[in-house]
Chains A and B, each alone.
Chain A
Amino acid sequence: MTPVIELDGLSVRFGARDILKDLRASMSGRTIGLLGPNGAGKSTLINTLLGFHRPSKGTARVLGHDIQRETMQIRRLTGYMPESDSFIAQMTAVKFVQMMAELSGLPSEAALERAHEALFYVGLGEARYRKLGTYSLGMKQLAKLAQAVAHGPKLLILDEPTNGLDPPARQRMIRLVREMRDSGELHILICSHLLRDVEETCEEVLILKEGQKVHYSNLEEERRANRRFVELETFGGENGLAQAVEDLGCECALTGAHRMKMVVPESFAIRDLYRLAAERNVQIRRLNFRRDSLEDIFLKAMEGANGRP
């Protein structure tokens, strides 16, 4: 299968500043998250993939097309939702989306039909004849999404799609992204600094810091490989309990008076813990069960990058 995005030693330089440094990765997931702190080079990477910036070294391929030689083919296959406010204030939403679809190559009638459909799809059906200048921030975000999907792209690039949205609007945006992902008709690249958005929608994640790749992983595999932790606060007989859970294959450490921390295997069921405690007459006063989240992965990647020479 052709990778969705292939980075082949991609470097971008503005004046004397290196913005992206020798990026190498091959991403084929249905939804790919692009993470990194502010100024990491996420938006520059997207702009370079779209042909807005020229690489100073290396190259990249989007859906098998080289970003330097086949820019127009890439742009034909992609839909882009920029981070900042981008619209034409005096236009109605339907005319705006129709024009954008026409610029992507759709004939006028087909563009109008799909503009209506896209606006209904994102939930702006009732407001489609209103001028964009009168829209709220959340509605503008949805209008930007509508123009990005109206021409039926194979790759949808979303740059900070939930920026400035209130919780219900954010949920709506995440639901739309998931729906599109599950339709199986297109790939999605989401650039965000909000880990929760990426965690809820993405299969793969590329983490950048200061223009360099610090981590790339398949989130599903990462989740499976991640260890599960249980933190316990007990009353009475914790030494016996620790021994019993170790016999079941857990790593266990007493972290203080009546406190213990365990690393539990996949096969371990929490109810076994309650059973062992009941058998030993130990009260479980508090139980905290968690596994490595994207936040842990992100923080580990950042720490790793900090330690790098």
Chain B
Amino acid sequence: MAVRKRSYRGYSGDLTPMWSRFLIVTRYAFKTVFSSKFLTAFFVCCFFYPLGCAVAIYLNQNLRVLALLNIPAMFDVDGRFFFHFLNVQLVLAFVITALVGPGLVSSDLANNALPLYLCRPFSHAHYVFGKMMVLVTLLSLITWIPGLILFLIQASLAGVGWLTANLWMAGAIFLSSGVQILVLCLLSLALSAWIKRKLAAGAALLGVFFFGAGLGQAINASLSTRSGSLLNIGELMASVEITLFRVYSETPVPSDMAWLALLTVCVFCLLLLERKVRAYEVVKG
């Protein structure tokens, strides 16, 4: 199909491997995300706290500074430190999810673009995974990746003894962030696919967290029970995090119940995505 000749010509060149095609969706979605100056600025701001923590860890291990302040240590770098670090970063992760997630699938559904994606050698699992990778990458960059970097900085300054005694914390940082990223990604994508309008899907995501928390509290108060907390996704995630970081003896929701409830949320979101991410919706009757 030469531009000058303007006649139809087939394509006989190389093809990319099929497994890698989900990354095309991710790449184009990233371009859209970073076309917003506000979002780019906010994303950059998300690195300020990890940067501050890195400086604090360095100063905490700097004998000259400690001597100057005349204290043995400014703070302990332990499970509680990383627990608080992740809590701050996960709040930012939630804001990024609320800004980016609702527009990922809804824009394609609103424009009826799914038949164009799915009429190609590209499955709806590729599509969902590609869209999910956008959030997974963004959230990973501000949660477990800086968390593990801080852990390595502390290990390099404190020595091998500290590293071997606290290796479980690296696992806790990764697993705790991973679970919360997965829940946030699936929830925002499922709501985006279900509601098909970016603003409404964003509002619904906030509603799931805040309305769920309010409803859970109301049930707990009126029925004198703790079962209402199962509706509070924030408390479910906090319970998993507390267990993994071994910071408190009590959790808002029993740990096994929290895991099970989060798994249920994930399965429900996947089912919703399976149903909504289709080339054409079939009306049976």
Contact = CB atoms under 8 A, between A and B. Distances in A.
A86 B111 CA distance: 6
A17 B284 CA distance: 8
Contacts of A110: 11, 13-14
B115 interface: yes
Contacts, number: 131
Interface in B19-73: 21, 24-25, 28, 32
Interface string A225-236: 000000000000
A172 interface: no
Contacts of A118: 1
Contact of B279 (A16, A47, A183): A47
A147 interface: yes
Interface string B268-285: 000000000011101111
Contacts of A183: 7-9
Contact of A72 (B2, B13, B18, B283): B18
A105 B18 contact: yes
Interface in A108-132: 110, 114, 116-118, 120-121, 125
A146 B21 CA distance: 20
B121 A104 contact: yes
Interface string B95-116: 0000000000001100111011
A112 to B, nearest CB: 13
Given A85-B111, A149-B8, A80 B119 contact: yes
Nearest to A52: B279
Contacts of A80: 115-116, 119
A86 B115 contact: yes
A185 B278 CA distance: 31
Given A75-B120, A105-B16, A99 B24 contact: yes
Contacts of B107: 88-90
Interface in A149-182: 149, 151-154, 179-180
Contact of A47 (B10, B16, B120, B280): B280
A102 B113 contact: no
A88 B111 contact: yes
A110 to B, nearest CB: 6
A99 B28 CA distance: 8
Contact of A88 (B14, B108, B278): B108
B116 A14 contact: no
Interface string A72-83: 110110101010
- Which of B9, B16, B119, B279 is the most central at the interface, judged by chain A CB atoms within 10 Å of its CB? B119
Contacts of A14: 282-285
A114 to B, nearest CB: 7
B3 interface: yes
Given A15-B285, A88-B113, A185-B10, A52 B118 contact: yes
18 contacts: A50-B279, A53-B282, A85-B111, A86-B116, A87-B111, A89-B111, A90-B107, A95-B28, A100-B120, A102-B16, A103-B21, A103-B25, A105-B15, A105-B18, A121-B1, A121-B7, A152-B1, A183-B9
Interface of A: 14-17, 47, 50, 52-53, 72-73, 75-76, 78, 80, 82, 84-90, 95, 99-100, 102-107, 110, 114, 116-118, 120-121, 125, 147, 149, 151-154, 179-180, 183, 185-186
